[in-house]
Amino acid sequence: MTDFQSHNSSAATPQWSRHTSAGTIWPVSPLALAALVDMGMTDETIGRYFGVDPAEVRRERKETPP
């Protein structure tokens, strides 16, 4: 099992999270966010899916190292 898959890993679960109005958990892990962007989703689309403002998505992307 990789660190990303491990339930004991800090990489698997963000430091803080909340259930959004869309019933999803935000923020997602940096790897998950990168995967969504790689699939062609925009900050607006990701924000709409998770029920958060696109500015929050941009902030999370800026805080994630490339």
The number of distinct structural domains making up the chain is: 1
Is residue 39 included in any domain, yes or no? yes
Rounded distance between C-alpha atoms, residue 46 and residue 7, angstroms: 24
Is residue 24 included in any domain, yes or no? yes
Q: Which residue has the tokens 């990168």?
A: 34
Is residue 6 included in any domain, yes or no? no
Rounded distance between C-alpha atoms, residue 56 and residue 43, angstroms: 9
DSSP for 1-59, written as a single string:
--TTT-TT-TTTS-SS-EE-TTS-EESPPHHHHHHHHHTT--HHHHHHHHTS-HHHHHH
Reported pTM: 0.67
Is residue 28 included in any domain, yes or no? yes
Is residue 50 included in any domain, yes or no? yes
Q: Which domain holds residue 30?
A: 18-63
Question: What is the chain's pLDDT, residue by residue, as a tens digit (66 residues)?
Answer: 444 444 444 444 445 566 776 677 899 999 999 999 999 999 999 999 999 999 999 999 998 776
